[in-house]
A = this chain, B = another copy of it.
Amino acid sequence: MRVDPRPIGIFDSGVGGLTVLREVKRRLPRESTVYLGDTARVPYGPRSAATVTKYAINNARTLLALADIKALVVACNTASAHALPALTEALPIPVVGVIEPGARAALAASTHGTIVVLGTSGTVRSGAYPRAIGPSRRVEARACPLFVPLVEEGWTTGDVPRLIAEQYLRDLPTDTSVIVLGCTHYPLLAPVLRAAVPAPIDGAAATAVELEALLRARDIQAPADSARRHRLLVTDAPEQLARVAPAFLGEAVDPASVELVDVLMTA
């Protein structure tokens, strides 16, 4: 059995992908990670497919150049929706997105009825979830553009998020059996969403499972005795990431440990 001590690269438009990093660290405690939050260009949700793809490739090349990653997790639904084929083609390493695992988790959670997917406008427009879920189930994807700013602002409880959630979740199909949180920010709104809908699920844990299978299949798992390291990189405002990170990551983050980087602009 070969081993590979190089880190796993993870990127997101900002802090939302830390919910995926959390699951990766939990599931793969031997692995080193390098997380890049593209906070200088967040959010990706409203942007065009071409722009999100360009940003995704910038981020991936930056992680390769700065940290020699052995695999990439696209911990952002919008980037997974628009850029996964382009990333897979452009990169010399395996790439895992969050949409296929999220779709599989939805199919595992229910055997009938409509699957409702909440996501950014970009994710909804892309049609990526209905494609990944396949023709066996009815899928209704709804854009919830205010959820990301609400979470970034820290307004995850109270009347404002409740009212906004009620608007977005109005008139759900009567046979709705599962709600997929198709954006890595949304799990932070789970308490508000749970009041309105049956158990919402997200793809973070399923993504970590898929990553584990991929590392095993390629024989590139970290050695048992390797020195683990977890780096956090951002393209803007490290102190802001450090401030909000604990809610996503479930642990404290030392502001001095967050590195400010410029992404490589070659697409």
CB of A93 within 8 Å of the partner chain: no
CB of A66 within 8 Å of the partner chain: no
Which residues of the other chain, B, contact A94 by a CB distance below 8 angstroms?
none
CB contacts under 8 Å to B, within A30-89, are 39-41, 46-48, 51
Q: Are A150 and B146 in contact (CB under 8 A)?
A: yes
Residue of B nearest to A240 (CB): B46
A74 to B96, CA, bound (A): 41
Which residues of the other chain, B, contact A46 by a CB distance below 8 angstroms?
152, 237, 240
> Copies per complex?
2
How many chain A residues have a CB neighbour from B under 8 Å? 25
Which residues of the other chain, B, contact A39 by a CB distance below 8 angstroms?
47
Residues of A within 8 A of B (CB): 39-41, 46-48, 51, 145-146, 148-150, 152-153, 155, 159-160, 163-164, 167, 235-237, 240, 265
Q: Are B167 and A160 in contact (CB under 8 A)?
A: yes
Which residues of the other chain, B, contact A152 by a CB distance below 8 angstroms?
46, 145
Residue of B150, B236, B265 near A265 (CB, 8 A) is B265
Q: Tell me whether A237 and B145 are in contact in the complex, defined as CB-CB below 8 angstroms, given that A160-B164, A163-B159, A164-B160 are known contacts.
A: no
Give the shortest distance, in Å, between A243 (CB) and chain B (any CB).
Answer: 12
Q: Are A48 and B163 in contact (CB under 8 A)?
A: no
A240 to B159, CA, bound (A): 30
What are 28 contact pairs spanning A and B, CB under 8 A? A40-B41, A40-B47, A40-B51, A46-B152, A47-B236, A47-B237, A48-B236, A48-B237, A51-B235, A51-B236, A51-B237, A145-B149, A145-B152, A146-B146, A146-B149, A146-B150, A146-B153, A146-B155, A146-B160, A148-B149, A149-B149, A159-B163, A160-B160, A160-B163, A160-B164, A160-B167, A163-B163, A265-B265
Which residues of the other chain, B, contact A159 by a CB distance below 8 angstroms?
163
Which residues of the other chain, B, contact A163 by a CB distance below 8 angstroms?
159-160, 163
Which residues of the other chain, B, contact A235 by a CB distance below 8 angstroms?
51
A152 to B46, CA, bound (A): 10
Residue of B nearest to A167 (CB): B160
A36 to B240, CA, bound (A): 28
Given contacts A146-B153, A146-B155, A146-B160, 7 further A-B contacts (CB under 8 A): A41-B41, A47-B236, A145-B149, A145-B153, A146-B150, A159-B163, A265-B265
